[in-house]
């Protein structure tokens, strides 16, 4: 199975998946840490995939999404974005709206606390 097929299978079979540097418990870059921190704080159940473990995967996810940077968040098969986009969506409430629309469980109070702390 090609790297592209492996990525497609994971994205299609997992509600929320974060391709990142490191893991959700031990991120290996600040951008991955920020996105994982948001998802962790909001109580989102997600699969983390460490792109540092496989150079083919690291390049493959960039080709798959046509997005040049890591991390990359997918929700119900849809590419959402990287660190800057997830940060903006969190602060604007758009991430809540996306999770609501896609049926992803998260802690609304935690999401509000993030916005309050960054107001």
Q: What is the pLDDT of residue 117?
A: 95
Q: What is the pLDDT of residue 48?
A: 98
pLDDT in tens, 28-65: 999 999 999 999 999 999 999 999 999 999 999 999 99
Indicate the pLDDT class of residue 1, thresholds 50, 70 and 90.
confident
pLDDT in tens, 74-89: 999 999 999 999 999 9
CA distance 22 to 71: 10
Task: State pTM to two decimals.
Answer: 0.95
The annotated binding site is made up of 29
Output the six-digit token pair for 69: 């940077």
The annotated binding site for [2Fe-2S] cluster is made up of 29
How many structural domains is the chain composed of?
1
Output the six-digit token pair for 76: 């119900």
Provide the residue range defining the domain that includes 83.
3-117
Q: What is the pLDDT of residue 119?
A: 84
Residue 108 near residue 57, CB atoms below 8 Å = no
Q: Whose CA is closest to 89, among 46, 65, 118?
A: 118
- 13: domain CATH number is 3.40.30.10
């Amino acid at each position: 199975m090609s790297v592209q097929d492996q990525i497609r299978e994971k994205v299609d079979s997992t509600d929320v998946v974060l391709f990142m540097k490191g893991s959700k418990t031990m991120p290996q870059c600040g951008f991955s840490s920020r996105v994982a921190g948001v998802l962790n704080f909001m109580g989102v159940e997600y699969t983390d995939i460490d792109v540092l473990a496989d150079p083919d995967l690291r390049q493959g996810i960039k080709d798959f999404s046509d997005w040049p940077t890591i991390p990359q968040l997918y929700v119900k098969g849809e590419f959402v974005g990287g660190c800057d986009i997830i940060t903006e969506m969190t602060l604007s409430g758009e991430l809540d709206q996306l999770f609501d629309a896609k049926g992803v469980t998260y802690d609304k109070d935690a999401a509000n606390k993030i916005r309050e702390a960054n107001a």
